[in-house]
Chain A
Amino acid sequence: MSDFKTIDARDTFCPGPLMELISYMKTAQVGDTLELLSTDNGTASDVPEWIDKVGHEMISSEKIDDVWHLKVRKLK
């Protein structure tokens, strides 16, 4: 059964949120969904780039009250 985890990386600057996501991605199971919370605008463009390069799935990206919510799924 796949899992859902929220990673709170608010108030940290590039590349802190991305590195947090990568760190959790390493230990997640295939099919798990991770939601990264970030206040760093650069992260909103870096995460889809990273996801695309390494071959996971970008589920959604939205900014709510100055916080980016980036949902991704581990595919491999």
Chain B
Amino acid sequence: MSQNYHIVCLSGTREKLQMAAMFASVAAATGDQVTVFFSMNALPFFIKDSNKVPPVEGQFGELMESEIGVPPFKQLFKSAAELGDAKLLPCSMALDLLKIDGDALDPELGPPTGLTRFLNDAEGGQLLTF
């Protein structure tokens, strides 16, 4: 039976972005409904042509940076959208603070979304925060 996962992605560290992306990609590709809401320090990594590299929190971030075979988190989020129809939604408040609109973000990201809409959609599903 498929699940309904709502992932809130806030942290801008490598470990948390990576884990959220792993979760989203595997769940979406397995047939679960996945919505990822990007806000706070997680959002700037999805600005078009951004070369921003997330800082690591500790040992595992360093290990992931040293291994070339670790799939990049942006590629995993893209796979979640392409292979599993995951919805990747930017937080409208965060866009306002950054003074950019949705067009400035990677094409995989959907329309700017407010908290009320996100919470309504998340009702009854599982909420995971990274």
Contact = CB atoms under 8 A, between A and B. Distances in A.
B56 interface: no
Interface in B48-89: 67-71, 76, 79, 83
A14 B83 contact: no
Contacts of A23: 79, 83
Interface residues of B, number: 14
A48 interface: no
Interface class of chain A by DSSP: helix
B67 A13 contact: yes
Contacts of B30: 50, 53-54
Interface of A: 11-16, 18-19, 22-23, 26, 46, 50, 53-54
Interface of B: 22, 25-26, 29-31, 67-71, 76, 79, 83
